[in-house]
Amino acid sequence: MRITFILPNLSLGGGTKVVLIYAQELVKAGHAVSLISPPPTKPTVFRKVTRWIRGEKGGVRSGMTDFFPEAESLDYRLLDQQRPVVDSDVPDGDVVIATWWETAEWVNQLSSSKGAKVYFVQHHEIFPYLPVERSRATYRMPLHKIVVANWLREVMRDSYDDDDVVVVPNSVDHSQFFPVNRTKQPVPTIGILYSTAPSKGLEVSRAAVRMLRKTLPRVRILYFGSERPRKSTRFEVDDVFHYRPPQNKIREIYSTCDAWLTASTSEGFNLPAIEAMACGTPVVSTRTGWPAESIVQYKNGVLTDVNDVPALASGLEWVLTRSKNQWDELSSAACKAVELSSWHRSAKLFEAALINYATRPASAVRDGIAHEISILHSDQKDTARNSPNRISDRRIQ
């Protein structure tokens, strides 16, 4: 098939990473894949000077190869300026895929020669900093939908009267994220994604850590992120921040943590959580996204209500004060919960949906792959509920 992804920009976020992974897998499967987006917003003079002072080189594209090395080989086409993608930008094909509310508007306007129109929904994008009504309207457009989680399928059904939606869950690359000689750290260590996006709950996470330190003062925090900390951010002496670390370094960060903390107020999926668990790190999370569907309370992690700082602090304390054997069981259960997850498997489901969208009515798509998707979800739920008594076979000793 000839497949085109339309992106709003070339960013280093998790949503872009998922698109790039599927593009790479579809190329491996023999499809012709193109990715199109407007160029990054031109940096201000102040930003240029700041980059020069910090010694930052290259643009977003060069940073992308560290974030996702395979991106260099993909057919990624940048427009000449910031503007909507139109017919003349897009090759004729079998499928064209919107990846964000604004790109859904663009795709909806394309001619039928560009292929079956698909909306890849990784979140319910009705945030206050967006034009909410325009965003809502995109979910009512006559676009086939692929979503990354069951909760998104329910939103599409309940809020937009669209029950013809395929769920293809995100996954984890076990060749990149795996546990190596996991054991509790001499100094209790917590990992946090540094992101100032309001929905990521960074300040709630930091508040939970401050509360925790009243009872466990000797706690170290490892942060990583694609943006540098604000000047107002104050770290403790033993805390460490990693700026745009490569994938192998991210695995090292996960594997050096006794707990991974995520206090998001809203998540489409939450890739860091599944990656941390693949590395044998129990997750303490708010009930959002993938963790809400996959964490079994006090078996492979801890779930709390959104914005509940005391509960997050208590969950962290519970994980960090387990005995070595108890923590080892938690770590093994975290691995077990995600061991059947596979990008290759998810990509096959994504491919199946695209093939059916390109050749059959939407209802046939849903019926054609519903069985395979139900098996995938069933497998993941079963493994999450089973707390193993031994180290996962995927572990490297």
Q: How many angstroms separate the Cα of 233 from the Cα of each of 200, 236, 264?
A: 16, 10, 18
Q: Please give the Cα distance from 286 to 168 (Å, whole number).
A: 22
Q: What is the pLDDT of residue 361?
A: 54
Amino acid identity of 322? R
Contact assessment for residue 119 and residue 135, using Cβ atoms and an 8 Å cutoff: no
Q: What is the pLDDT of residue 68?
A: 57
Q: How many angstroms separate the Cα of 255 from the Cα of each of 185, 280, 332?
A: 10, 7, 13
Cβ of 218: how many Cβ atoms within 10 Å? 9
Compute mean pLDDT per 10 residues along the chain, 397 residues long, and list them. Answer: 92 82 95 93 52 47 52 85 95 97 97 97 93 96 96 96 94 93 93 94 97 96 93 88 90 96 95 97 97 96 98 98 97 96 95 92 49 49 42 28
Bridge partners for 146 per DSSP: 120, 166
Report pTM. 0.82
Nearest to 204 by CA among 97, 102, 114, 310: 310
Q: What is the pLDDT of residue 382?
A: 52
Query: What b/e sequence results for 367-391 when a residue is b if at least 16 CB atoms lie within 10 Å of its CB, and e otherwise?
Result: eebeeebeebeeebeebbeebbeeb
Q: What is the pLDDT of residue 248?
A: 82
Q: What is the pLDDT of residue 171?
A: 95
Cβ of 155: how many Cβ atoms within 10 Å? 19
Contact assessment for residue 222 and residue 190, using Cβ atoms and an 8 Å cutoff: yes
Could you tell me the domains of the chain?
A: 2-171+343-359 (3.40.50.2000), 189-338 (3.40.50.2000)
Amino acid identity of 308? D
Q: What is the pLDDT of residue 71?
A: 65
What's the CA angle centered on 344, arms 338 and 350, to 5 degrees? Answer: 105
